[in-house]
A and B are shown apart, each in its own frame.
Chain A
Amino acid sequence: MTLSRIAPYLQATPLTLILAAFLVLPIATITMVSFWDYDSIQIFPAFVFTNYEETITSPVTWNTYINTLKFTVIVWAVTLLVGFWVAYYLAFHIRSATAQMVLFLVCTIPFLTSNIIRMISWIPFLGRNGLLNQTLMQLGIINQPLEFLLFSDFAVVLAMVHLYTLFMVTPIFNTLMRIDRALIEAARDAGASGWQILTNVIIPLAKPGIAIGSIFVVTLVMGDFITVRFMSGGQSASVGLMMANQIALLQYPAAAANAVILLILVLLLVGAILRIVNIRKEL
């Protein structure tokens, strides 16, 4: 065999090894453990379906998955709206490339702090005696502190939108920048209104960015547990949190079964997104 024939294999080897060691192997292990049995302190090799049975037949699981999907849909819709808006403004209303880059970097500034800090800083702001409630009460807008602001689904969604919008902005901004401005001029010359240009030209061309952003947001929200725990004050559940609880109680096989189910669900969602939008077209 000549070098030129094995060269591609050699080139692919490092990535293959890394993926095998850090992706395939762990997932295979998780899948294997999900069939094991456990008691309160130990797990032991077995091949039982009880973990899946207990997970799938429990109404808690269903409620938790529905709750997680609810967060996913709401957060996805809000981040998409906000993200597209910001990206559109950056791409089409800021004329100078320097200003665009500067403003884009401004968007990333909050990311200089850790995501836990960004999330936790909402707590003193939204609390019963927090800044927001105090301000509103001083302004005479409300008499009673608004209780729903913190430790509620509202707080969870707010924090997630705050944390994840940039993941929508970045890919959408990227695709919008690639749109040939001549297309927009042509549409306008052909008599299209601003709205028609948006819906018939810009959004279709921005689909790959929207799809990539959606994949980020959906996977992040589906797997989240810390935001749900802190912002709901432990009042709300998510799949990630359920797994974290199981791990804390040493019920690894149950957590593994949950992880496998979640993985399948997320892959289905990502698959659906990819069915609708061919992201390769634009990459």
Chain B
Amino acid sequence: MSKKTTDTSAAGAATDVKSGLSRRNVLKGAAVFGGLAGSGAVTGFPTIWAQNPITLRQFGTGVSNLNAIAEKCKADLGITLQMTALDSDAVSQRVVTQANSFDIADIEYWICKKVFAAGTLQPMDVKKIKYYDDIVPIFTTGKLTPESKIAQGTAPSTVGFVEGPESKTFAKAPTQWMTLIPTIYNADTLGIRPDLVGRPIKNWKDILDPAFKGKTSILNIPSIGIMDAAMICESAGIIKYGDKGNMTKAEIDATIDFLIKTKKAGQFRAFWKTFDESVNLMASGEVVIQSMWSPAVAAVRSKGIPCVYQPLEEGYRAWGGGLGIARHLKGAQLDAAYEYINWYLSGWVGAYLNRQGYYSAVLSTAEKNMTPEEWGFWMLGQPAKTDILSPEGKVMYTAGAVRDGGSFKERMGAVACWNSVMDEDRYMVRRWNEFIAA
């Protein structure tokens, strides 16, 4: 892309011609940026922001609100990021009701489906997104490879674009106006204690095995828990869904009734709501198989307790988040927001996220910021050639280990459904509460 990248930011840059040339190397393609403005001076941005300090207020769910990113952003761009971590419900609420309280919203795609219509976010011009063409196609066309099918649920591609800069209706195919720039995503599955389950785990329905009575758990966040429940029900042959991500009332009833029956039979030990609860349940041996998030698996393992993020035949439940720009941003702040997003996709952050076991939206730039060993382990599913370190430098995997689920293609290629928000949301939540109260 890029031949037309506009301008306003470049105009500011013209005041500083010399400094920041090294950034040219980091932000490959920055020259293109500059070239458009006809000055070649664009690499001077960081200094500009340092001279006119810009602060962007970003809030979002805890996963990607990382201080390391804010620090690096300050160092590279001179933009101060004020991060606030909230839970997903609070995030949705704030996007809608307090439009001026944030500049950048870091939200999940299903939240986007819920809140975009409120008009508090402005669609982004993909022509200003330098790495747009390199974004993993899951977020644009919806197909990882040309042959893949779009998974059920709120697939990012279905809410990723709107018709025009003022539009609030989602476009069916990619347009010039993107709602969220994808940042971070992953494929979730069940976590198991290989030392305690005592048999191979292959399907979602294995959580219903009477052998694990009183030793299982699913998460009690309705919008996500219902998806795990749906994967379990479908695997067990209880019901076949039209679209797990958008159930009919009858499908919701069937799912919840089955959950209530299972709960009354004593299959579940507990329901967890927060990350640390899931870690404790697993680490203490209270449960041996449960819904889990990948960093929780890493946390259990870091205590020296075996824990596997088990790939299952039916596939994964995936989730993804992205950055949205508040409607009220304009002028220098809007430029800074684009600058920040372009920087986000330029590799350093991507490598950081990939090293945590998540995936980044632009893989080519992230690869350049990772060692070949890291890339092989995290993305290609190869056995680790050296010890694999976390971004903080702690050993996460020793040499020889293989990532659970294998390569990026194997994992993201096997997504069965995306986290979603249903049309019958209110009814689902009411029935879910019934399940918890039963």
For B398, the chain A residues whose CB sits under 8 A away are none
Q: Is the CB of B437 within 8 A of A67?
A: yes
Q: Mark A114-127, 1 if CB is under 8 A from B, else 0.
A: 00000000011001
Residue pair A234, B273 in contact (C-beta under 8 Å) = yes
Most chain B CB within a 10 A radius of its CB, from A127, A151, A242: A151
Query: Contact partner of A64 among B220, B268, B437, CB < 8 A?
Result: B437
Is B230 close to A, CB under 8 A? no
Interface size of A by Cβ–Cβ distance < 8 Å?
33
Q: What residues of chain B lie closer than 8 Å to A245, measured between beta carbons? A: 433, 436
Q: Is B286 on the interface with A (CB-CB < 8 A)? A: yes
Residues of chain A in range 138-168 having any CB-CB distance to chain B below 8 Å: 147, 150-151
Q: Nearest residue in A to B93 (C-beta to C-beta)? A: A250
* CB neighbours of A235 from chain B (8 A): 263, 268, 270-271, 436
Whether a CB of chain A sits under 8 angstroms from the CB of B38 is no
Binds A, one of B57-65, B239-247, B402-410, B423-431: B423-431
Chain A contacts for B438, CB-based, 8 A = 63
- Structural contact, B434 and A41, CB atoms closer than 8 A: no
> Contact partner of B436 among A40, A237, A246, A249, CB < 8 A?
A237
The residue on B at minimum CB distance from A64 is B437
**Contact between B269 and A237, CB atoms less than 8 A apart:** no
B425 in complex: contacting residue of A40, A127, A151, A229, CB < 8 Å: A40
Q: Is the CB of B96 within 8 A of A42?
A: yes
Q: How far, in angstroms, from A237 to B434 measured CA to CA in the complex?
A: 9
Task: Tell me, in angstroms, the Cα distance from A229 to B281 when the chains sit together.
Answer: 14
- Would you call A233 an interface residue if the criterion is a C-beta within 8 Å of the partner chain's C-beta atoms? yes
Instruction: Check if B285 is an interface residue, CB within 8 A of chain A.
Output: yes
Q: What is the bound-complex CA distance between A39 and B96, given in angstroms?
A: 12
Partner of A41, one of B92, B272, B429: B92
Q: Tell which of A58, A127, A129, A250 touches B92, judged by Cβ atoms closer than 8 Å.
A: A250
Given contacts A40-B426, A60-B437, A250-B93, contact A234 B114 (CB under 8 A): no
Q: Which residues of A contact B97 (CB under 8 A)?
A: 42
Encode contact with A along B211-247: 1 for CB under 8 Å, 0 otherwise: 0001001001010000000000000000000000000
| Chain B residues within 8 Å of chain A by Cβ, number | 35
Establish whether residues A63 and B93, one from each chain, have CB atoms under 8 Å apart when the complex forms: no
**Main SS at interface, chain B:** helix
In the complex, A129 Cα to B286 Cα: how many Å? 8
Q: Are A58 and B96 in contact (CB under 8 A)?
A: no
A248 at the interface (CB under 8 A from B): yes
Residue of A whose beta carbon sits closest to that of B285: A129
Which residues does chain A contribute within 8 Å of B426, judged by CB atoms? 39-40, 251
When C-beta atoms are compared, the residue in chain B nearest to A39 turns out to be B426
Contact call B89/A233, Cβ cutoff below 8 A: no
State whether the Cβ of B371 lies closer than 8 Å to any Cβ in chain A.
no
Cα(A124)–Cα(B437), bound, Å: 25
Answer whether A128 and B437 are a contact pair too, CB < 8 Å, given A41-B92, A250-B93.
no
Contact B115 A41 (CB under 8 A): yes
Q: Are A242 and B284 in contact (CB under 8 A)?
A: no
> Given A40-B426, A60-B434, A128-B286, are A248 and B89 also a contact pair (CB < 8 Å)?
yes
Which A residues are in CB contact (< 8 Å) with B114? 40-41
Kindly state the separation between the CA atoms of A232 and B436 in the bound complex, as whole angstroms. Answer: 11
Decide: A41 and B284 in contact? CB cutoff 8 A: no
- CB of A151 within 8 A of CB of B270, answer yes
Q: Cβ of B421 < 8 Å from any Cβ of A?
A: yes
Contact status A63-B437, CB under 8 Å: yes
Can you list, as one digit per residue, whether each of B2-36 has a CB less than 8 Å from chain A (1) or not (0)?
00000000000000000000000000000000000
User: In the complex the two chains form, what is the Cα distance from A137 to B433 in whole Å?
Assistant: 37
CA gap between A236 and B191 in the complex, in Å: 24
CB of B209 within 8 A of chain A? no
B118 at the interface (CB under 8 A from A): yes
Chain A residues near B437: list those with CB within 8 A.
60, 63-64, 67, 237, 242
- Evaluate contact between A233 and B425: CB separation under 8 angstroms: no
B147 close to chain A: CB less than 8 A:
no
Shortest beta-carbon distance from A130 to chain B in Å: 8
Within 8 A of B (CB), among A174-217: none
Given A40-B425, A128-B286, A151-B269, check contact A234 B96 (CB 8 Å): no
Q: Which residues of A contact B392 (CB under 8 A)?
A: none
Q: Which of A59, A130, A233 contacts B269 (CB 8 A)?
A: A233
Q: Which residues of B contact A234 (CB under 8 A)?
A: 220, 270-273, 436
- Asked if B271 and A233 sit within 8 Å, CB to CB, the answer is yes
Closest chain A residue to B117, Cβ basis: A41
A151 touching B286, Cβ below 8 Å: yes
A249 to B437, CA, bound (A): 16
**Cross-chain pairs A/B with CB under 8 angstroms, 11 sampled:** A39-B426, A40-B421, A54-B430, A127-B286, A128-B284, A150-B286, A233-B269, A235-B268, A246-B433, A249-B222, A251-B429
Of all A-B residue pairs in the complex, the 7 with the closest CB atoms, nearest first, are A233-B270, A234-B271, A237-B437, A60-B434, A41-B96, A151-B270, A248-B89
Interface residues of B (CB under 8 A from A): 87, 89, 92-93, 96-97, 114-115, 118, 214, 217, 220, 222, 263, 268-273, 280-281, 284-286, 421, 425-426, 429-430, 433-434, 436-438
Q: Give me 7 other A-B pairs in contact (C-beta within 8 A), A232-B270, A235-B268 excluded.
A: A41-B118, A129-B284, A234-B220, A235-B263, A245-B433, A245-B436, A250-B92
